[in-house]
Amino acid sequence: MAEEHALTSTEYIKHHLTNWTYGKMPDGTWKVAENGTEAQQMGFNAIHLDSMLWSVTLGIIFCLMFWLAARRANTSVPGKFQSAIEMVIEFVDTSVRETFHGKSRLIAPLALTIFVWILLMNTMDLIPVDFIPQLAAMVGSNVFGMDPHHVYFKVVPTTDPNITLGMSLSVFALIIFYSLREKGIGGFVGELALNPFNPKNPVLKIIFIPINLILELVTFLARPISLALRLFGNMYAGELIFILIALLPFWIQWALSVPWAIFHILVITLQAFIFMMLTIVYLSMASEKH
């Protein structure tokens, strides 16, 4: 575990929490960061290659799983794989029907994609923290001649705020789209300007417009931020606990990691469910006319 890396506890934790980053250095050169300091110097232009790799790979796995289930679907004697996929679809479909009050062909597929994709990304947290990073270090050292201590490779995309914010901003764009489509520009702006205070007196109504706008815009803009940070915070904390357990003696690791992994399965599933449900709720609110 940590001893095999010949790193101090602090260095070990920092190493596991650093992404495989590619970006532009202050001198104008583009390169893969060799440490956390270089990754910070790359600023906004930096790309977390490991997060992109795993999120895209798991997205492809999700598509292949459901494509295979559809191809092999048997109405007479469904297999275990088909039954499991059907259970997930039925669960998501029921959640959408009970929560979304408008009409849209996009919501159910979107909710299914969000739930399964996030669930797959979260499940990567159950892989032993050193297993894949050590493989990456071996490949980097033996194939590319890199210092293994400069090979960074995180495997849980949802512990990267760039990934969670990217997903939440996509949902935010859909919220705006549905709001404008169902209510029009006037109705959308009116909803923000005339709530929560909407007195009948026209003079008071005008006075309350800027107050309403401030209150509603803060609430409106907080949705994607809270959606992203909730998922990121819970998964980052879980990953950090696994890393801290890996610093302990081997016999203590098993005594702590197995119970925590079992409990973490609940967190993994719950966070995917919460992200999905809040997406459905927000889009339902955007589709409602007041």
Q: Which residues are catalytic?
A: 226, 230, 234
For residues 132 and 78, give the distance between their C-alpha atoms in angstroms, rounded to a whole number: 35
Q: What is the 3-state secondary structure (H, E, C) of 226-241?
A: HHHHHHHHHHHHHHHH
What span, in angstroms and rounded, lies between the C-alpha atoms of 206 and 193?
9
* Counts of helices then strands in the chain (DSSP H, E): 9, 3
AA letter at 98: E
Which amino acid, residue 147? D
Give me the residue label for tokens 């679809």. Answer: 89
Q: Which of 20, 120, 11 is nearest to 65 (CA)?
A: 120
Pairing of strands 21-24, 47-48: antiparallel
* 3-state SS, residue 24: strand
Angle at 122 (CA atoms; ends 119, 125), nearest 5 degrees? 145
What is the Cα–Cα distance from 288 to 177, expressed in whole angstroms? 13
**At how many degrees (to 10) do helices 49-71 and 107-123 cross?**
120
